[in-house]
Amino acid sequence: GENVEQHPSTLSVQEGDSAVIKCTYSDSASNYFPWYKQELGKRPQLIIDIRSNVGEKKDQRIAVTLNKTAKHFSLHITETQPEDSAVYFCAASFGNQFYFGTGTSLTVIP
């Protein structure tokens, strides 16, 4: 089955700096890659996603890049703000199945 690895597990940045979280996957058939943000005690919420026919997608301060050859994708958050502090999960999906990474706890220091 699919194996998704996520790094780093924790990340601290100063407010205004950028944050990058990386995920790798093992199954080349995976074709949908969502990123979720989970605040403490709350449900995961989709913040951005990318499909395998696209190399990059951007939504305001958030962007995701995908390298199908290397089987890795990354989340980029620019101009970080304290409210960006949360746990971020990547996932890889093919057909009916979703596999999640282990999460990155991001802390933005004011």
Partner 1 sequence: EAGVAQSPRYKIIEKRQSVAFWCNPISGHATLYWYQQILGQGPKLLIQFQNNGVVDDSQLPKDRFSAERLKGVDSTLKIQPAKLEDSAVYLCASSFLDGGNEQFFGPGTRLTVL
Residues that bind partner 1 (CB under 8 A): 1, 4, 6, 31-32, 34, 36, 42-46, 49, 51, 89, 91, 93-103
Cβ closest to partner 1, residue 43 vs residue 60 = 43
* Least Cβ distance, residue 16 to partner 1 (angstroms): 28
Q: Are 24 and 92 in contact (CB under 8 A)?
A: no
89 beta partners: 36
* Under 8 Å between Cβ of 33 and 93: yes
Residues 6+ apart with CB under 8 A from 70: 24
- Nearer to partner 1 by Cβ, of 18 and 102: the residue is 102
44/84 with CB nearer partner 1: 44
Structural tokens at position 27:
């199954």
Cis check for the bond before 8: say yes or no (omega within 30 of 0).
Answer: yes
Minimum distance of partner 1 from residue 49's CB (angstroms): 7
Q: Residue 99 and residue 90: Cα distance in Å, rounded?
A: 8
- By beta-carbon proximity to partner 1, the closer residue of 4 and 77 is 4
What is the nearest approach in angstroms of partner 1 to the Cβ of residue 19?
Answer: 18
Give me the least distance between CB of 95 and partner 1, in Å please: 5
